[in-house]
Structure 1
Amino acid sequence: MTVRESVTRPAPLPPLAARARSAGGSPVRDILAVTARPEVINFAGGLPAPELFDAEGIAAAFQAVLAESPERALQYSTTEGEPALRAALAARLSARSLPTGPDDMLITTGSQQALSLLATALLEPGDTVLVEEPCYLAALQVFGFAGARVVPVPGDADGLDPAALEELVRRERPKLLYTVPTFQNPTGRTLPAGRRAAVAEVAARCGLWIVEDDPYGELRFEGERVPWIASLDAARDRTVLLGSFSKVMAPGLRLGWLRAPAALRRACVVAKQAADLHTPTVNQLAAARYLADRDLDAHVARVAGVYRVHRDAMLAGLADALPEGATWNRPEGGMFLWARLPERYDTTALLPAVVRRDVAYVPGAPFHAGEPDRSTLRLCFVTQTPEEIAEGLRRLGKGLREGLREGLREGAAAR
């Protein structure tokens, strides 16, 4: 080969890392891209209702910090997070029976980053992680990207089974269990207090980290609050509690937090230094100012009250929309409802027919780390009005019936 040929025919670039080649995108975000048309009634998203944002209060908080201390608000900050925000969050946790000091907290760029930091600090490629079945999609992405082996824990309508958890822990020797025990994504279910205590005891007996993710717990609109696993004596030294302002204040702030035992928290601080140095200072100071000047609990109560009306509207229309033999749950809070159709329904295959009716849901299959249940689907009830929910369910029923007929015809033609 001549010098001229080597210049005109450049050598191929080195390949992407194996984890980048094997990791898939989010099916939810793929669906949202397809259903972005304004006429679509979208039950697929996990977005809070934007009309309920306290835009005035948040704007006032930003204006105050930029007017009073712009040199601080626009400057670099510590990796651990702004002291005022960490103190305010620690006070909120302590008021909810989880004694916490500011130094127990790490502010993250959304709770999704907290998951990534924990994967960096805890997991080696090939390590085993236990998850609920079904499981929050983005957690499956994080653990997959870290090269972990993800094993689902069997459960039922109340959540994961502690006896099955202990059997898997002893057999698989996992590093951690990831759980969203309150108003879980995707199912909306809540793990009862007795099972939480049993999970904590398993972790203590067998040597296991628990990652307790709680983005929805404050959005309760009926029933009694269930204590965090992190507040139980058996689990205090081995539970990481994650939280977020995304569902109670505004997701665009990208503010989350991590409460963890000291050694693991320090490791996450080092991982965050390598990732982004720190979460934006101005957003942290504005959130701290908002917590000082406004009543976040009252705001959350108003939001939860609206969400309850939306949930009730969805529950009222499901019997007519879903086929005979379908089942669904009644979440006491959060944003999601989980439904299971008869076995002959494949919700992934049926989705295109439903989208043609200008309505969308998320098929249940991608939420499973193990064998997927293809007859399941997730419905988000918070971003539409009750009238839109009723119309969306009418469209959903028509789309499911049409999709099933099309599938039967295609099956007959193939035979």
Structure 2
Amino acid sequence: MSLPVPHAAVTALSPHDPAAADLDAGIALAEIGKIARTDLSAWARAIDEGTYPATLLHRFADAGAFRLHLSQGHRLGNAIEGMSRVSEVCAATGFMAWCQNTLVWYLINSENEAPRAKYLAAVATGHVLGGTALSNPMKSFFGIETLKLKGTRVEGGYKVKGILPWVSNLGPDHFFGCIFAVDGAAPVMAIIDCAEPAVTLKPCEPFLGMDGTGTYGVQVRDLFIPDDVVLAHDAMSFVKKMRAGFILLQAGMAIGLIRDCIAMMREVEEPLGHVNRYLDVQPDQLCEALAAMETEVNTLAETPFDTSPDYWRRVVSARLLAGEKSVEAAHNAMLHCGARGYVRASRCQRRLREAYFVAIVTPATKQLKLMLDQMPA
């Protein structure tokens, strides 16, 4: 199934070009919201059931959705709000927007000029789509898993092999960031092109939802990764630099989803309010919780390069709360909607499945709790 929405022509944009800073965030966010309410709304169910919306991602890119964090000192608030507006309609597409924005974030933060010059403008404008592939590394850094990609230093780069079970927002012409282990040296982070013959994309088993997110198992067989696509020869130091942004950007999925859960509860107030008032959680309570969450996320998004332990604890705590409140909001939206929310065509049941994804996508609730437990008091 294809999306009947044309991809408008886009002029390639250099991140150092004044045009990057001149993007009007208000206009961009309004257009992102408009696309979400119209085209994305019409295709949300198809995306949930397996349609990858490449054309819609290009539409969002044309509106500026993936370059809102190129200006203003790389503060993330506008990028998070852009993803929130997408996720108000479809959290699966919000997740793909997170993948794209995070790939931009990797390139922004790389100290290697070569991959920035080669890919940043193309990724930020949506000419190149791609994913993040940091689920396994993020777990490995906390002792949950070992790195699944292994590399060997060779002349001019690395030879890499291994299998990643789940990488999202991919296709045969997409790119993704990865981290691989190197014997006798620090892990390395680089960009991989899915079109390389040494890279194979394997379809995954059907998920509970989110099947339209372009998620594949990735098999890498002796792929040569040249130095000019290496983001960092010391991935651990690089991750510490960009990890707050990586995690904070995920809040966009939660914020948008919770907004829609509150909206669904409001929609049934007239026919069901006389009995829904006996439920423990009411929309006003969720509104207050959401407002507090947004305030904290926006405050943290102002200083994504803060390295203090207190700041990092607040980032992890905010992400944990985002997952927990997503599940709480979707659960209570289902209780408020009742049987009308339980039918297959209802967006309420889709929201419940999406909320669990927000809670289990890396870093998942259990990993966030582990991370907090390992931090100094």
TM-score (norm 2): 0.26
Greater relative contact order (Cα < 8 A, sep 6+) = 1
Structure of larger gyration radius: 1
TM-score (norm 1): 0.24
Query: Between Structure 1 and Structure 2, which shows a larger proportion of helix residues?
Result: 2
